Structure 1
Amino acid sequence: MDARKPQPGWDDLRHFLAVARTGTVSAAAAQVGTEHTTVSRRIRALERELGETLFHKSNTGYELTAAGQRLVGAAEDMESAYLAARSMAGLESQSVAGVVRIGAPDGLGAIFLAPRLKTLTERHPRLAIELMATARLFSLSKREADIAISLSMPRQMRVVSRRLTDYRLHVYGTRAYLQDSPPIRVVDDLKHHPFVSYIEDLLFAPELNYLSAVRATITPRIRSTNLLAQLYATLAGSGLCIMPTFMTADFPDLIPVLPERIALTRSFYMHIHEDNRKVRHINEVGSFIAAEIARSQALFNPPAAA
């Protein structure tokens, strides 16, 4: 009789990893695409099978025990093998199929990417896109996204990255606001105008601290963590705002202020976890994003004003 201890299967381990990465059963269920009761049942079964307690449970969520921390490495190795096998199987098919989750800053995701995804899904009818366009960082190691776009190179390990583009930002105000407000002839005049900007202590990336780069004494009157909220507050005549040129191109009422003197440059980077670098449908989406940005350079880096 074989008395060897049974080995956990991948289906149990993927539920375990989801809880380890999200910290709660409900969030893990959403990530895996099942019910929270199923996740709890899987975790209990795995703990019985291994004879170990894998999580400490509290009011705030699930925290890995020492045994759970040891299991994470083995589970991630199995996950990598599974993704590699799925990728090889996908290479045998001519169609691109599956779900790809993209994490992108709110402005780029909502204004630039969202209107272009129709082209991608029509090209690949079996491809589904989940677009998280929000002001936050995305963890590829926790599988929060398949593709993450950020303002800097990653701090995470095992990530394949590429710079997508530089992009330019200016100070903008509506035509009506600028006509009805004190004239702006030099940078120092900006201190006489209300600004719309970020909540500084909630910035998810230091690259978004624009006001310090302008070098004028500016106190925002309206602050938001969301760039779209800033855009629409500015369109309503609330004041001036520093925004990327690719966001203002469809709003001709927004006029750049001192564009020859105030022009900031930032960059977008695209990141894919090393395990997914050969997964066909993820690579197809990444290539599409890069190609769309490359052919839209007039939006990201318009010719300088004469």
Structure 2
Amino acid sequence: MPDQASEIDWDDFRFVLAIVRSGTVSAAAKQLGVDHTTVIRRVDRLERQLSAKLFDRRKTGYQLTESGHRVATSAEAMESTIVANQDLIGGSKAHLTGTVRIGAPDGFGTHFLAPRLVKFADLYPDLDIQLVATARLFSLSKREADIAISLALPKEGHIVGRKLVDYSLGLYAAPAYLARAPEIKSRDDLPAHRFVGYIEELLYTPELDYLPQVSPKIAARFRSGNLIAQYNATLAGFGIAVLPRFMAAGQPGLQPILPDSVSILRNFWLLMHADSKDLARIRAVAEYIYATVERERALFNPP
């Protein structure tokens, strides 16, 4: 039972979160603007009042105990409630700390999202952002990411999803390739050309199997499981590729092919685990991604 001799100071929970997020007492002290003895004293006091050991003190740093994990989870929930009320009442930007990991497809993550996270970093300078931009599925249940950008909703799991945006893809090639290749007037001319595409057996989702939708008579001669590699091979003049228009449109090194007759539509979904979607740091990142995509929606499905 908690120590009844004194009431719990709810501010002490901030010190627990600071250690969890920074890894050491000294880093937590720097983050909170206090000396390290204050951090130790506040955590010690909370442990006495809760009659529970929250950390194992090791040479490598403070490690959460089982009780510590439960307290840290509760502390994050309290922080999220405070932040929500602060934004609602005062309209001010809350002070957020910790880490948020975003898992995203390589094209969206590298080409679109990465350069646009700078403004978010300026809004929340003490929040660490990890962007894993690669062609794979992310398990939110296993905490491989806090937020995942996916091409489809998962069929099972305790996952909350919301459509982010529809995006279109088309055929593109470098002018240097088209200058030496046969003329293209219709889909019937495509089998005479060299294509760039995915390695079929390495596709992590069927939504990426584009070429059969363009024509059953074509096959890729250069293949990669990475969209950025396909993009760069196409820029270099290897051949024709199906590329997202948010990457290829406006690129002077790429020319659209049969834009009126070949167009593929796909969706991006933003996914979060139901247990963590309301945490302030995760919600702030998710809302920023929503708002950023909404402002530039025309980039994903241009006329």
- Runs of 5+ in structure 2 lacking a partner? 1-19, 21-58, 84-93
* Structure 1 residue identity aligned to 2:138: F
* Structure 2 residue identity aligned to 1:92: I
Q: How does 1:92-107 map to 2 (within 5 A)?
A: 92=82, 94-107=94-107
Counterparts of 1:218 and 1:229 in 2: how far apart (Å)? Answer: 20
- Runs of 5+ in structure 1 lacking a partner? 1-13, 15-36, 47-74
Alpha-carbon contact 1:84-1:279 (below 8 Å) kept: no
The total of aligned residue pairs comes to: 235
Offset at residue 156 of structure 1 (A): 3.6
Offset at residue 90 of structure 1 (A): 4.0
Q: Does 1:83 align with 2:73?
A: yes
Give the SS at the match of 1:92: helix
* Structure 2 residue identity aligned to 1:86: E
| Identity score, percent | 47
Q: How does 1:145-160 map to 2 (within 5 A)?
A: 145-160=145-160
Q: CA 1:198 to 1:218, structure 2 compared with 1: closer, same or farther past 3 Å? A: same
Counterparts of 1:163 and 1:149 in 2: how far apart (Å)? Answer: 10
- Match for residue 35 of structure 2? none
Of stretches 82-91 and 234-243 in structure 1, the one that deviates more from structure 2 is 82-91
Q: Please give the TM-score of this superposition, normalised by the length of structure 2.
A: 0.72
- Match for residue 8 of structure 2? none
Of stretches 152-161 and 89-98 in structure 1, the one that deviates more from structure 2 is 89-98
Offset at residue 84 of structure 1 (A): 4.7
The ranges of structure 1 where at least 4 consecutive aligned residues each deviate by more than 4 angstroms after the TM superposition are 78-82
Counterparts of 2:107 and 2:127 in 1: how far apart (Å)? Answer: 24
Offset at residue 215 of structure 1 (A): 2.2
Offset at residue 82 of structure 1 (A): 4.5
- Match for residue 121 of structure 2? 121
Q: Which has the larger radius of gyration?
A: 2
Counterparts of 1:205 and 1:178 in 2: how far apart (Å)? Answer: 30
Alpha-carbon contact 2:79-2:280 (below 8 Å) kept: no
Q: How does 1:51-70 map to 2 (within 5 A)?
A: none
- Match for residue 132 of structure 1? 132
Alpha-carbon contact 1:169-1:263 (below 8 Å) kept: yes
Give the SS at the match of 2:234: helix
Counterparts of 1:80 and 1:162 in 2: how far apart (Å)? Answer: 29
Give the SS at the match of 2:266: strand
Offset at residue 117 of structure 1 (A): 0.8
Q: CA 1:80 to 1:180, structure 2 compared with 1: closer, same or farther past 3 Å? A: farther
Counterparts of 2:154 and 2:270 in 1: how far apart (Å)? Answer: 9
Deviations 1:244-263 (A, max 9, x none): 00111352221111011000
Offset at residue 216 of structure 1 (A): 3.8
Alpha-carbon contact 1:106-1:228 (below 8 Å) kept: yes
- Match for residue 278 of structure 2? 278
Counterparts of 1:161 and 1:277 in 2: how far apart (Å)? Answer: 10
Of stretches 100-109 and 84-93 in structure 1, the one that deviates more from structure 2 is 84-93
Deviations 1:168-222 (A, max 9, x none): 0001001221122101111021100000100001000000000111124112110
Offset at residue 241 of structure 1 (A): 0.2
- Match for residue 220 of structure 2? 220
* Structure 1 residue identity aligned to 2:236: A
Counterparts of 1:80 and 1:152 in 2: how far apart (Å)? Answer: 33
Give the SS at the match of 1:251: coil
- Match for residue 236 of structure 1? 236
- Match for residue 26 of structure 1? none
Q: Does 1:247 align with 2:247?
A: yes
- Match for residue 72 of structure 1? none
Give the SS at the match of 1:163: strand
- Match for residue 288 of structure 2? 288
